[in-house]
Structure 1
Amino acid sequence: MLTSQRWRRCVAFVCAALIAPLAVVGLAGPAQAKKGGACDGAGWSIVNLATGSTVVAGTDVERTVSADLLGPGTFGVRGRYVGYDVRLTDFAVLDYGFTGAASRADMTGGRPTPVFASKVPDHRGLSLSSAVEITLDDEVLELGRSGSGLSMKIQSKDCAQGGIFQMEPERGDGTATRITHTLATSADPALQPFYFDNPRFRARVGEFLGSACTSALTGPPSQFCVQVSTRVNIANDFSPAFVARDSAQVADRVPQPECTTAVPVEPSVQHCGGVSVWDVASGGRMGFVSGEDAVEVANPPTECVSDCQAQNQVRGRLAVLGFPFPVPDGSRLVPRTASAALPPLVP
């Protein structure tokens, strides 16, 4: 299992690579999050769902907790702004969503907003069996558990906007882990999230944007001059501020050729409207970002699976293209799920 110190270095790296300050309001770097108001009042509780009792809560907490204390199958992770459940045997994440708690940085419109029904790793016969390592530090949560030949880490932030989430599998055999994301369903159709091919990115594919660019045609490419590519985002039909995306480090998305935009475009992203599938390297990270970070034209994170160092902070020097609301019907990815079998994982 990764040490706490090594995990913190990796988390710092990914956050630095993926998160720039929001153009209007929201999450800056971890040290500045509270100043922006997006994480005001944040804090986590770990809950035994069978009994309803709080097992761990507070700030500046580091504990190792017996799995028996957390419940028979899943336990609850509850923040002011974000909540979800975690399955003990594999660290699958279930029912991830935003609470809609009041905040001047709110992007939910004040409504509980479901995002993911599940994020499920396929450990191919391996399972987690150790006690659970829990670290709570204001808005930051870290969970860790191991088993024979396997360890899993989850890290997330409790913020109204920019609710960073990361899942990290590490296998003793060094092979990849397939992780399937399934978006939530909702009794209120307006709140049901969907994947879409962002037309503002599609319209500018190939252009160079950023503070260091001297030409939209030639760049030159650099840390602060990035060529636009297609972007798949997540939105709903209720809140014009809610936007998110999957964000991976050392991971490849598995194409689903059955799926494309309702009005087909080329090249198709081969992505379904309610499911995404990723093959994540051992020590890689499968993440999720929301708010304006999700619609920034940013460099991909540097590949890193060990002793990652904080770097690549962009400090608002890259372009934020946003997204249209409501999302045009033709840009929505369909069908929601594919019937064809996925190609096998190539370790």
Structure 2
Amino acid sequence: MRDRDPDRGRARRAGSRWRAALIALALAVPLAALASPAQAASSKACENGGYRLISSTGAVVARATDREVVTTVPAVTLGATFTVQGRYNQFVVRASDLALFDYAFTGAANRLDMTGGRFTPVWESKVPDHRGLALSSAVTVQMEDEDLVISRTGTGLSMKIQSKDCAQGGIFQMEPERGDGTATRIQHTLAPEAFYFDNPNFRARQGQYLGSECTSVETGPPSRFCVRVSPRVNIGNDVSSRFVARDSAQVADRVPQPECNTQAPVTPSVEHCGRVSVWDVASGGRMGFVTGEDSVEVANPPTECTSDCQAQNQVRGRLAVLGFPFPVPAGSRLVPPSAAPFAPITGP
């Protein structure tokens, strides 16, 4: 039957269009809401940050200022190991190979603090295998505000550490380079207080497309700001509800650990152990880690870089941030802590 009241018909059609718009908006919410900016890493996380280099005897050999400082320090002055002490994070460096030990957040106050004001150990060690090559030069140090670059060379080998004294963000990386162009294997071991886990928030949305440019969770289309969700291995602890981190590789491949899985096994497994990860880093590539929101962001892999790669905060308010549960469920934690030793690296 035809509607005899034209105003009533127009109202009904307008109502239908309004309902359709509401439905479309509701369908878009899971994509847009997740892509809204939260507490992305920023200069706020680095407020008043700055490092001091302290020799094995306790002497301060370099200190950051608001102007760039470039200095060359004889290795004997630093000692076998030296401390990098910042406002927000600290670690120890072994001079012979630029391996890292005892990386921790200090718990210093900051509006983007993840630690709850607690001293928070993260890494027991990050140790490169230079396969017989040695660093023999003096140690070059570049410092300005929160930024630090430490580098050293030897015959057929150079090694660089870049770090930022910030409360969170993309704040650390190692960059090995070999004259023969082959890869360097780096083993990461977490502090006893920390653990790797298969983030259940990512597992729950695996295969979906998320980000500000997505029009469909099923088809995307994929782009810089529309990224398909894949399993995510993060780092957490049991004391800081906001602390989260992840390994971040650029031109580097993680060596699978098939003996390891989540405590409640999942398929496909990420083949990752609970405290140890092993990486083969291309000559000139880098191996770092990111913390805070950057580590639970659904982003494309970093672009390849094998020369003067920069450790930097990645502020991308248009990407989805999935977060993580706290406490991390026992079933999502990766076990056992480590696997059998790997065969030495032989290829490029």
Q: In which range does the TM-score fall when normalised by the shorter chain?
A: 0.7 to 0.9
When residues 177 and 311 of structure 1 are mapped into structure 2, their CA distance, relative to the original with a 3 A threshold, is: closer
- 1:24 aligned to 38, 42, 46, which one? 38
RMSD of aligned Cα (Å): 2.0
When residues 238 and 272 of structure 1 are mapped into structure 2, their CA distance, relative to the original with a 3 A threshold, is: same
- 2:73 aligned to 65, 69, 84, which one? 65
Q: Give the whole-Å Cα distance in 1 for the aligned partners of 2:83 and 2:250.
A: 26
Q: Give the whole-Å Cα distance in 1 for the aligned partners of 2:69 and 2:138.
A: 16
**Uncovered stretches (5+) of structure 2, i.e. residues with no partner:** 1-34
Structure 2 residue 248 is matched with structure 1 residue 247: yes
Q: Give the whole-Å Cα distance in 1 for the aligned partners of 2:163 and 2:314.
A: 19
Secondary structure (helix, strand or coil) at the match of 1:107 reads coil
- AA at the equivalent of 2:70: E
CA contact (8 A) 1:142 1:154 kept: yes
Secondary structure (helix, strand or coil) at the match of 1:64 reads strand
CA contact (8 A) 2:170 2:313 kept: no
CA deviations on 1:218-248 (whole Å, 9 max, x unpaired) are 1000000000111000000001100000000
Q: Give the whole-Å Cα distance in 2 for the aligned partners of 1:197 and 1:248.
A: 17
CA contact (8 A) 1:292 1:320 kept: yes
In structure 1, the residue matched to 2:228 is 227
- 2:113 aligned to 101, 106, 116, which one? 106
CA contact (8 A) 2:127 2:186 kept: yes
CA contact (8 A) 1:256 1:342 kept: no
In structure 1, the residue matched to 2:177 is 170
When residues 257 and 323 of structure 1 are mapped into structure 2, their CA distance, relative to the original with a 3 A threshold, is: same
In structure 2, the residue matched to 1:277 is 278
Secondary structure (helix, strand or coil) at the match of 1:46 reads strand
Cα deviation for residue 306 of structure 1 reads: 3.0
In structure 2, the residue matched to 1:3 is none
Secondary structure (helix, strand or coil) at the match of 1:115 reads strand
CA contact (8 A) 1:26 1:161 kept: no
Secondary structure (helix, strand or coil) at the match of 2:252 reads strand
CA deviations on 1:162-206 (whole Å, 9 max, x unpaired) are 251010000000000000000012xxxxxx100000000011111
Point out the more displaced range, 303-312 or 329-338.
303-312
- 2:158 aligned to 111, 131, 151, which one? 151
In structure 2, the residue matched to 1:54 is 60
- AA at the equivalent of 1:325: F
Cα deviation for residue 24 of structure 1 reads: 3.5
Q: Give the whole-Å Cα distance in 2 for the aligned partners of 1:145 and 1:279.
A: 20
In structure 2, the residue matched to 1:321 is 322
- AA at the equivalent of 1:130: S
When residues 248 and 149 of structure 1 are mapped into structure 2, their CA distance, relative to the original with a 3 A threshold, is: same
- Identity, % of aligned pairs? 69
CA contact (8 A) 1:95 1:184 kept: yes
When residues 309 and 270 of structure 1 are mapped into structure 2, their CA distance, relative to the original with a 3 A threshold, is: closer
- AA at the equivalent of 1:296: E
CA contact (8 A) 1:83 1:96 kept: yes
Secondary structure (helix, strand or coil) at the match of 1:164 reads strand
Cα deviation for residue 305 of structure 1 reads: 1.1
Cα deviation for residue 58 of structure 1 reads: 2.5
Secondary structure (helix, strand or coil) at the match of 1:68 reads helix
Q: Give the whole-Å Cα distance in 1 for the aligned partners of 2:307 and 2:314.
A: 19
In structure 2, the residue matched to 1:11 is none
Point out the more displaced range, 40-49 or 232-241.
40-49
Point out the more displaced range, 331-340 or 244-253.
331-340
Q: Where do residues 325-336 of structure 1 align in structure 2 (5 Å cutoff)? A: 325-336=326-337
When residues 133 and 139 of structure 1 are mapped into structure 2, their CA distance, relative to the original with a 3 A threshold, is: same
When residues 195 and 160 of structure 1 are mapped into structure 2, their CA distance, relative to the original with a 3 A threshold, is: same
Q: Give the whole-Å Cα distance in 2 for the aligned partners of 1:113 and 1:285.
A: 24
In structure 2, the residue matched to 1:295 is 296
Q: Give the whole-Å Cα distance in 2 for the aligned partners of 1:163 and 1:307.
A: 16
Q: How many residues align?
A: 312
Structure 2 residue 145 is matched with structure 1 residue 138: yes
When residues 98 and 42 of structure 1 are mapped into structure 2, their CA distance, relative to the original with a 3 A threshold, is: same
CA contact (8 A) 1:223 1:312 kept: no
**Uncovered stretches (5+) of structure 1, i.e. residues with no partner:** 1-20, 186-191
Alignment TM-score, normalising by the size of structure 2: 0.86
Q: Give the whole-Å Cα distance in 1 for the aligned partners of 2:310 and 2:278.
A: 27
Q: Give the whole-Å Cα distance in 2 for the aligned partners of 1:121 and 1:341.
A: 14
In structure 1, the residue matched to 2:25 is none
CA contact (8 A) 1:27 1:162 kept: yes
Q: Give the whole-Å Cα distance in 2 for the aligned partners of 1:311 and 1:180.
A: 22
Structure 2 residue 218 is matched with structure 1 residue 210: no
Secondary structure (helix, strand or coil) at the match of 1:315 reads coil
